[in-house]
Chain A
Amino acid sequence: MKSIPFAGWHTRNDLEKRLNRNVQFMLLGLGAAWMIMFIYVVLITLRERKLRKELDRVRRMVEHPNK
């Protein structure tokens, strides 16, 4: 005979699923905020390095035009 699960189990499982989803999306949201800030900091650092290199190169070019 096929057993019929107690209706309360469905409700509790559904509630647990919903709560888990709620926490997952909270972590996703906060993670997205940190990730965007992190990516921008990395991009700005790379840009700074590139600009410093370019500045050194152009300075050398002006100071020693024949090299």
Chain B
Amino acid sequence: MREKIIIGLAVVAAGLLAWNMNTIFTGLPDELNQGAIYRIIYFHVPANILGMLGFGLGMILSIGYLVTKDLRYDALAASVTEVSLVFASIGLATGSIWARIIWGVWWAWDLRLTSWLVCWLIFGGYLMLRRAVDEPIQRARFAAVVSVLGSVNAYISYKSIEWWNTQHPQPVLSIRDGGGMAPGMEAPIYWNLLALACFSVILVMVRMRQESFAREIDTLRRMAHAQ
């Protein structure tokens, strides 16, 4: 059943991405002030949204673990956080390349960029911590605490463009009362978000299967040592 869901989602994601790439490159004109480079927004924004949502979901699952002590919550939190970190990396890389053309610099130490980089480092640390601690219950508890702290930082990063004046633009999307894009240019962002969301669900499902393999290996090793 899991395999069928993965294949189904892969077909939907691939179809949507192909259709979106066609729309982005052949159906949309260049932006008046930015030229062709603005098309980076179709990966930059969805990737960052998925990164932030994933870190938030990871926090909820981590709290779920702390309350119930059920290791399945921890496994799901680890899977979601790892995939979210990949999307956050895409957001940072694409943002930096976009900034080089529009701002003339690869990086600006403003509150949005800095807080998002700190968030990326915290969740990178989260994954390193998980590798460093062998005992599953201790690992899950430490990781849950880091996840909660990191997600607070992710929320600060999300709100930073509203709370402070930053080099990074203020909200642009109409769902955040931005209204800075033509509807025809905004819609492909949501379609790409859907495509990447399908892709991220596939990745989380594969990571969950790996977590169950790792748990089984751990259990069998303990059995082998006990024999």
Contacts and interface: CB of A to CB of B under 8 A. Distances in A.
B214 interface: yes
Interface residues on B, range: 20 to 34
A52 interface: yes
Contacts of B40: 26, 29-30
Given A36-B86, A48-B206, A58 B217 contact: yes
Q: Is the interface of B mostly helix, strand, loop or mixed?
A: helix
Contact of A58 (B47, B90, B94, B224): B224
A52 B210 CA distance: 9
Contact of A55 (B35, B101, B213, B223): B213
Contact of A54 (B44, B217, B223, B227): B217
A37 B39 contact: no
Interface in B95-123: 97-98, 100-101
A44 to B, nearest CB: 6
B214 A23 contact: no
Nearest to B206: A44
A33 B36 contact: no
A32 B90 CA distance: 7
A35 to B, nearest CB: 9
A23 B224 CA distance: 59
B224 A40 contact: no
Nearest to B38: A26
B37 interface: yes
Given A29-B37, A30-B39, A36 B90 contact: yes
B70 interface: no
A1 interface: no
B224 A30 contact: no
Contacts of A54: 213, 217
Contacts of B216: 55
B90 A33 contact: yes
A58 B89 contact: no
A20 to B, nearest CB: 10
B203 interface: yes
The 3 closest A-B CB pairs, nearest first, are A29-B97, A29-B40, A33-B43
